[in-house]
A and B are shown apart, each in its own frame.
Chain A
Amino acid sequence: MPSVLSKICLTIAVSSSLLLAACGSSQQAAGPATVTLLTHDSFVVSQALIDQLKTETGITLKITTAGDAGAMVAGAVLASGAPSADAMFGIDNTLLTKAVDARVFSPYTSKNLDSVIPALQKDTGDGVVTPIDYGDVCINIDDAWFAKNKLAKPTSLDQLVDPAYKDLLVVEDPATSSPGLAFMLATIAKYGDQWTKYWDKLNQNGVKVSGSWTDAYESAFSSTGGTYPLVVSYATSPPAEIVYAENPKPTKPTTSVLTDGCYRQVEFAGVLRGTQNEQAAQQVVDWLLSEGVQADVPLSMFVFPARTNTPLPEVFTKFAAKVPRPSQLPASGVNANLKKWLSEWGQVMGR
């Protein structure tokens, strides 16, 4: 049956020609004016801004994604010095120290760093990254549920251990979820040495732990069909509820934000050490802090722009929670203690 033989030969021929084609195309891609930006899966920016970068500077921006922020940073640390891209965006303050210690970045902060809001200006990992955006992880409240059950909405973390709020809160596992981790850090910032006691009380008061934000918010949260009216999410989730709603869009969200016990996450960009396109990569970091991209950030990624005086869309000014005093722990402290904290949390929560 020679047809089998010919088919096998054909398949081999096809696969090897694919391989050759692949090698060919990778050689063509390396032009001097192409900058590869390594980022996480949640990165979004309007195509028009990328086109504008091309017309203004001649730089062609190529975006490669690498899973969530943790996966991206893990890859960057292992490839330190011989990077898979020229610049990186999306590393946050919990991961920054590890990357700086591993010498992932080349020294550069944007020439427009002084346009960044003062509170964030000093966050540069000693001159290697530029803050691009920030957001707060906060508990979200299903307003309709509290109105229906005639219970006052909680206003502080302390209240959540009160029996009146038993079985109402769902949080994410800090070992598997970024907002879950941020919320654990918020409790450490707030309660100091007593933080495990707080979790012990939360546990006794029926806190539910989900493996992921998706599971907590999309299935356990009462606003989306679950039974828990309090969920750890973002300060910008209420405006996102409107933007990503069914048409016609509702005029106001049905959820609000508990502004106590919020944890601030800052996202940075930097030039990767070992890039062949140092200068162009620096221009891309500047571009991320430019007025255009900064104005695009809120509705693309649901975070706040780091640049001062950036106009915010109406849905943000109206419905995004303004957190008066967000918690933050020093990045180096998080780096040194994270493993210990996670195992302490696991012991208290029996996970």
Chain B
Amino acid sequence: MAQRVGAGDGPLNTPAWLRWMWVVPAVFLVALLGVPITTVLQRSFDVGNSFEIAPQLSIAFSAAGQALLSTFLAVCIGLPIAGVLSTYSFKGRALTQAIITVPFVLPTVVIALAFRELLGSILVPGLLLVVIAHTYINLAVIVRIVGATWQQLDPRTVIVARSLGASPFRAFMTVTFPQLRASLASAASVVFIFCFTSLGVVLVLGDSSTRTLESQILRETSLLLDFPTAAITAILQLAMVSFVLLLGARASLKRTAKGAILRFSSLSPWASPSQRRYVLFIATTACLIVLIPLLSLAYGSLHSSQGWTLEWWSSLTSVDSGTTRLGSPLGAIATSFKYALITGVIAGTVGACAAVGVLTHRLGRAVALIALAPLGVSAATLGLGLMLAFGRPPLDLRGSDLLLPIAHSIVAVPLVIAVVLPTLLTTDRRFAIAASSLGASLTRAFLTAYGPILRIVMIAAAGLAACVSLGEFGAASFLTRSGAPTVPVQIIRLLQRPGEQSFGVACALAMVLVLGTIALVAAIDALGNRKRTR
């Protein structure tokens, strides 16, 4: 489609304060990512300078194949779900959307355990089991990132295409898909990277063929204490991930052909009986896919060798009280939700500033791209780097409630950007130009065009960030910390000791995480929808 006047690639004509938005993520990245990573890499080469690289390359190659397969499956299954959730309004839509998000948020070790319980007797650990688990975990990424854009599309374009005789599939391919390409590229590259750098899943469900660079870094760091090799592996991983990000960015920053977008499509209530069946089928299947593996956790939390029991749930308040396990599992729940809230605020703000920066300043694009880098930074490297930079005198943040949310925010910011940016880019900037030509101030014009959408996607993105915080374990496990442990840490601790009680309470805690996530996501979605209809 020919480029329209005013739909070009250059920065928008915007007020000065908006043009400086890119500074927020830039400062965040330099201070909280750049400093720790350079510190840890520098220290790693201080303690030694011999390393090997050949085995890493072959691991990188096989991990890329595994990630490609996982991503393909996640897109195939995720796309229809995203479509149903973002184009139809139906009873239980919010709940379905919340349920889909759960696997992404649970600690991977818990998911791996659930899968072992479910499929362990049918499948041996290996590529297939890893790919299934990765697809399961990353469905949410496809559904939420693509869904965020899909909701903004004008449903009338599809209706027009259908009324002109296009089949539903053809209407999708010619009308909807081109408009989704940006966010799909963004989502798929994120999923690829998650699978490429996966750790917990490959440790529990994998074999020698499913090693990742991340699992190799963990082995070199905390088992062999071979820091130079770990550092080289970490750099290799970052380089490969950056390459994928560049590819994804090329695809997603390319301006997609736009129709005249009505910014808030109200979800069309399901109309024909066949559509009704389709929606029902997809939504039910999606919920079943997500919930069935989790049932083994629910069963574990309510069952013992003696039969059904409520003891694990009732001992949530009392297990390990009076010891340095720092309070009851209930305390861990409070800690986790507090950190999730702080992470949502920090990551939501930084990520949204980065996305707005892309629109408003030449440098914004580079900054947003670099802000995706944490996807490729090894959890071990990040955790150790934060500890070296901010976990000891002179700057010791461990006592505050900030170090862990900072680590979680670094991990979550790329996701926030991945949600917010494609939506902003698909928004028609002619609204701003029109408003401005009608005499609105520059600030007013920008907010007219982007404000409402920004508000919706920011809430969604901050919610996703909060969920990441709820489930994050990788970097957190390397980060020295004091004070109450988070729920994932507590679950892992319980799982690492024998006894029915340990397993039962761990399952109960995992269920709390599941229910908490569903509640959090449903609440955020409800907030977004309320804003939308106002």
Residues of A in contact with B (beta carbons under 8 Å apart): 1-2, 4-5, 8, 11-12, 14-15, 18-19, 21-23, 25-26, 29-30, 36, 38, 41-48, 50, 62-68, 70-75, 77-79, 82-85, 95, 98, 102, 175-176, 181, 210-215, 217-220, 224, 226-227, 233-234, 237, 240-247, 276, 300, 302, 338-339, 342, 346, 350-351
Contacts and interface: CB of A to CB of B under 8 A. Distances in A.
15 contacts: A1-B444, A1-B447, A18-B402, A42-B493, A46-B323, A63-B482, A64-B480, A70-B221, A79-B387, A176-B218, A215-B113, A218-B113, A219-B116, A246-B309, A246-B501
Nearest to B43: A78
B388 A44 contact: no
A176 B498 contact: no
B447 A41 contact: no
B322 A48 contact: yes
B264 to A, nearest CB: 14
B532 interface: no
B208 A351 contact: yes
A42 B125 CA distance: 27
B273 interface: no
A19 B402 contact: yes
Contact of A64 (B125, B227, B482): B482
Contacts of A226: 120
Contacts of A38: 480
Interface of B: 24, 40, 43-44, 47, 109, 112-113, 116-117, 120-121, 125, 202-208, 215, 218-219, 221-227, 304-306, 309, 311, 320, 322-325, 342, 345-346, 348-349, 352, 380, 383-384, 387-388, 391-393, 395-402, 443-444, 447-448, 451-452, 454-455, 477-482, 485, 489, 492-493, 495-504
B43 A41 contact: no
A237 to B, nearest CB: 5
Given A66-B479, A98-B225, A75 B500 contact: no
B399 A26 contact: yes
A12 B349 contact: yes
Contacts of B44: 78
A78 B384 contact: yes
Contact of B306 (A14, A98, A210, A246): A246
Contact of B349 (A11, A19, A62): A11
Contact of B391 (A25, A84, A210, A211): A84
Given A46-B322, A62-B482, A246-B501, 8 more contacts: A25-B399, A46-B324, A47-B323, A70-B222, A84-B387, A85-B392, A212-B204, A219-B117
Contact of A44 (B125, B323, B387, B477): B323
Contacts of B120: 219-220, 226
Contact of A244 (B112, B305, B388, B499): B499
B366 to A, nearest CB: 22
A220 B500 CA distance: 14
Contacts of A5: 443, 447
A68 B447 contact: no
A136 to B, nearest CB: 15
Contacts of A74: 221-222, 225, 227, 380, 384, 478
A346 B208 contact: yes
Nearest to A82: B392
Contacts of B479: 66-67
Contact of A41 (B112, B223, B397, B492): B492
A220 B477 CA distance: 25
Contact of B392 (A19, A46, A84, A214): A84
B222 to A, nearest CB: 3
Contact of B502 (A19, A219, A244): A244
Nearest to A174: B223
Nearest to B476: A67
A351 B208 CA distance: 4
Contacts of A247: 311
Nearest to A248: B306
A245 B500 contact: yes
A212 to B, nearest CB: 6
Of all A-B residue pairs in the complex, the 8 with the closest CB atoms, nearest first, are A244-B499, A70-B222, A22-B400, A84-B392, A351-B208, A67-B477, A66-B480, A244-B501
Nearest to B395: A26
B498 to A, nearest CB: 4
A45 B324 contact: yes
Given A47-B322, A78-B47, A15 B222 contact: no
B47, B227, B324, most chain A CB atoms within 10 A: B324
Contact of A214 (B109, B452, B500): B109
Nearest to B223: A70
B326 to A, nearest CB: 8
Contacts of A48: 322
A44 B206 contact: no
B271 to A, nearest CB: 33
